[in-house]
Amino acid sequence: EALRLWGGRFEGGPDQALARLSLSTHFDWRLARHDIAGSRAHARALHRAGLLTDGELDRMIEGLDRLEADVASGAFTPVLEDEDVHTALERGFIERVGPELGGRLRAGRSRNDQIATLIRMYLREEARQIADLLLDLVEALADQAGAHPGAAMPGRTHLQHAQPVLLAHHLMAHAWPLLRDVERLRDWDRRAAVSAYGSGALAGSSLGLDPQAVAVELGFPASVENSIDGTAARDVVAEFSFVTAMVGVDLSRLSEEVILWATKEFSFVTLDDAFSTGSSIMPQKKNPDVAELARGKAGRLIGDLAGLLATLKGLPLAYNRDLQEDKEPVFDAVDTLHLLLPAVTGMIATLVFHTDRMAELAPQGFSLATDIAEWLVRERVPFREAHEIAGTCVRVCEERGADLPDLSDEDLAAISPHLTPAVREVLTVEGSLASRAGRGGTAPVRVAEQLERLRSAIDEN
């Protein structure tokens, strides 16, 4: 005979089609450990309220301990008739302590306040793990930056050569957003750290339970201010899902560059064999599948967030069964990042950079033209005029198929009397890089300081 938590007012059992639709144990079973922890805390609240004797509490805790061990070992698993994780565990509990004592545990709580609490417990744990995985990737980027302190590369805007930058500067431009994702998870936790236990179905409990004590036992500093909000809100799930989508987007942008860099045309990097794949027909192929899967899975993570927001948008207060649909997308996001982050970290950590090739391309595409204009400004030429003069240098070079450093002293003087031979000091990649020495700039001294700050930010997290 199946255990249902709501049999009393019904004459018959549910139709097969409803039972199948209703079933959620195939995805919410991962909350079992948290459900049992919640039950322990709830049993203590019942005891403190005088609703359980000392002996009854002891037997309950002992039964829950046994149930937890059986869940962990796989000796206890949900069956098809168990509607959800809560139902299955209540059945397991009753099987262990008997129907008389087992039937007392549900007093003063509802699956509505249970699930709202459990999802927070689960996500808070996952947030810490995902933050650690993110920090591994940030560290891999910092290590690559540290291993290539002086290497120059073409900096791009619109994917066109713009100005030379240090490879280390560029790599850290991917590290900082990932570090902000870590901070987002830490900050999110402050809002997630609120227990919904004590809300009951929506209106609170009449049994004199202490929601604050339950909260503290479950690792929350506080319980919810409002029992309706406690059971109906899922913004905390949506916000978590936003962070995972943002991580996906950040990984995707990094990956897109790795894919470009690994092409024959760029030849900036070689992927390690362990982080690339071959082709079933073309023997020469070495494909950046890790980066492509990262780019692809960003779409999936965005979809998880979009689906969740769409589920929430029209829901009246308080609990509606639609809310059960919050779990699969956010579980998918968690699982996806657990798969993805170690692979991307490995790919980055093992990338071989062809710094000669990058350095050779750094000054091409007239990427030093801005240096001429800014040199002129330091010579007191108004920027509008300086921009014109530097533009003329580019045009003259283009007509001759030459490059900016090829211009002779006479060429320079003919373009503008302001262009004395001293301008040549900025017409090298090294000169250009060294000149961008303001805070946040790509000058080697600034980038070395930046790397130190990045490393201490990693340590602080």
Question: Could you list the residues that contact ligand ARG (CB under 6 A)?
Answer: 24, 28, 84, 111-112, 115, 319, 321, 323-324
Nearer to ligand ARG, 323 or 348 (CB): 323
> At its nearest, how many Å lie between ligand ARG and the CB of residue 326?
7
> At its nearest, how many Å lie between ligand ARG and the CB of residue 370?
57
Nearer to ligand ARG, 167 or 323 (CB): 323
> At its nearest, how many Å lie between ligand ARG and the CB of residue 99?
22
Catalytic residue (one of 22, 267, 279, 456): 279
> At its nearest, how many Å lie between ligand ARG and the CB of residue 166?
50
Catalytic residue status for 435: no
> At its nearest, how many Å lie between ligand ARG and the CB of residue 5?
8
Structure tokens given for 37: 């922890």
Nearer to ligand ARG, 269 or 330 (CB): 330
Nearer to ligand ARG, 115 or 348 (CB): 115
Catalytic residue status for 354: no
394-415 burial string, b = 16+ CB within 10 Å, else e?
Answer: bebbeeeeebbeebeeeebeeb
Nearer to ligand ARG, 319 or 353 (CB): 319
- Any idea which residues carry the catalytic annotation? 158, 279
